[in-house]
Chain A
Amino acid sequence: MIEGAIWRKWVFFYVPMALFLLFLLFPFYWMVITSVRPDGELYRPWNSINYNPFWTWKPTWDHVRYLFEETLFASWLWNTTFIALASTAISLVCGVFAGYALSRLNFPFAGSLGSAIFITYLVPQTLLFIPLAEIIRNYRLGDTPWSLILTYPTFLIPFCTWLMMGYFKAVPRELEECARIDGASRWQAMLYIVIPVAIPGILSAGIFAFTLSWNEFIYALVFLSSPAQKTVSVGVTSELIRGDVFYWGPLMAGALLGSIPVAIAYSFFVEHYVAGLTGSVKG
Chain B
Amino acid sequence: MGQVVLKGINKFYESVHAVKDVNLQIRDKEFVVFVGPSGCGKTTTLRMIAGLEAISSGDISIDGNVINALAPMDRDIAMVFQNYALYPHMSVYDNMAFGLKMRKFERPEIEKRVREAADILGIGELLKRKPRQLSGGQRQRVALGRAIVRHPRVFLFDEPLSNLDAKLRVQMRVELKKLHLRLGTTAIYVTHDQVEAMTLGDRVVVMKEGVVQQVGEPLELYNQPANKFVAGFIGSPAMNFAAVTVTEADGSLIAENSGLRIKLPDEIAQRLRGHIGREVILGVRPEDLTVVGSADLDHPCFDAVIEVVEQLGSEILLDMKVGESIMVASVEPTARVRVADKLRVAMRRSRLHVFDAQTEAAI
Which residues in A have some Cβ–Cβ distance to B below 8 Å? 172, 174-175, 177-186, 188, 192-193, 196-197, 199
CA distance A182 to B77 in the complex (A): 8
* Number of inter-chain CB pairs below 8 Å: 64
Min C-beta distance of B132 to chain A, whole Å: 12
Contacts of A192 in B (CB 8 A): 98
CA distance A199 to B156 in the complex (A): 30
Interface residues of B in 73-104 (CB under 8 A from A): 73, 75, 77-79, 81-83, 85, 87-89, 98-99, 102-103
Query: Does B146 sit within 8 A of A, measured CB to CB?
Result: yes
CA distance A175 to B81 in the complex (A): 9
| Selected contact of B87 from candidates A177, A181, A188, A193, CB within 8 Å | A193
Query: Does B340 sit within 8 A of A, measured CB to CB?
Result: no
Take A177-B52, A177-B72 as given contacts and tell me if A183 and B102 are in contact as well, using a CB distance cutoff of 8 Å: yes
CB pair B89–A188 under 8 Å, yes or no, is: no
CB pair B103–A181 under 8 Å, yes or no, is: no
Query: Does B71 sit within 8 A of A, measured CB to CB?
Result: yes
Interface centre among A175, A180, A181, A183 (most CB of B within 10 A): A181
CB pair B89–A196 under 8 Å, yes or no, is: yes
Which residues in B have some Cβ–Cβ distance to A below 8 Å? 50-52, 71-73, 75, 77-79, 81-83, 85, 87-89, 98-99, 102-103, 146, 150, 156
Min C-beta distance of A235 to chain B, whole Å: 42
Contacts of A181 in B (CB 8 A): 50-52, 72-73, 75, 77-79, 156
CA distance A178 to B81 in the complex (A): 8
| Selected contact of B52 from candidates A175, A180, A188, CB within 8 Å | A180
* B156 nearest in chain A by CB position: A181
Interface residue SS majority, chain B: loop
| Selected contact of A179 from candidates B51, B77, B98, B156, CB within 8 Å | B98
Min C-beta distance of A196 to chain B, whole Å: 5
Min C-beta distance of A239 to chain B, whole Å: 47
CB pair A185–B73 under 8 Å, yes or no, is: yes
CA distance A177 to B99 in the complex (A): 12
CB pair A179–B52 under 8 Å, yes or no, is: no
Contacts of B87 in A (CB 8 A): 175, 178-179, 193, 197
CA distance A52 to B136 in the complex (A): 66
CB pair A183–B88 under 8 Å, yes or no, is: no
| Selected contact of B79 from candidates A178, A188, A197, A199, CB within 8 Å | A178
Contacts of A193 in B (CB 8 A): 87
- A sample of 24 cross-chain residue pairs with beta-carbon separation below 8 angstroms, ordered by A number, consists of A172-B83, A174-B85, A175-B87, A177-B52, A177-B79, A177-B81, A178-B87, A179-B98, A180-B72, A181-B75, A181-B78, A181-B79, A181-B156, A182-B99, A182-B146, A183-B99, A183-B150, A184-B102, A185-B71, A185-B73, A188-B102, A193-B87, A197-B89, A199-B89
CA distance A183 to B102 in the complex (A): 6
**Other 6 A-B pairs with CB < 8 A, given A174-B81, A180-B71, A181-B72:** A177-B81, A178-B79, A180-B52, A181-B50, A182-B99, A193-B87
Min C-beta distance of B84 to chain A, whole Å: 8
* B84 nearest in chain A by CB position: A174
CA distance A45 to B89 in the complex (A): 61
Min C-beta distance of B353 to chain A, whole Å: 39
| Selected contact of A197 from candidates B77, B83, B88, B150, CB within 8 Å | B88
Contacts of B72 in A (CB 8 A): 177, 180-181
* A177 nearest in chain B by CB position: B52
CB pair B85–A183 under 8 Å, yes or no, is: no
Contacts of B52 in A (CB 8 A): 177, 180-181
CA distance A188 to B98 in the complex (A): 11
Min C-beta distance of B292 to chain A, whole Å: 53
CA distance A172 to B163 in the complex (A): 15
Min C-beta distance of A188 to chain B, whole Å: 7
CB pair B103–A183 under 8 Å, yes or no, is: yes
CA distance A188 to B102 in the complex (A): 9
CA distance A183 to B70 in the complex (A): 12
CA distance A179 to B85 in the complex (A): 9
Interface centre among B87, B88, B98, B146 (most CB of A within 10 A): B87
* B146 nearest in chain A by CB position: A182
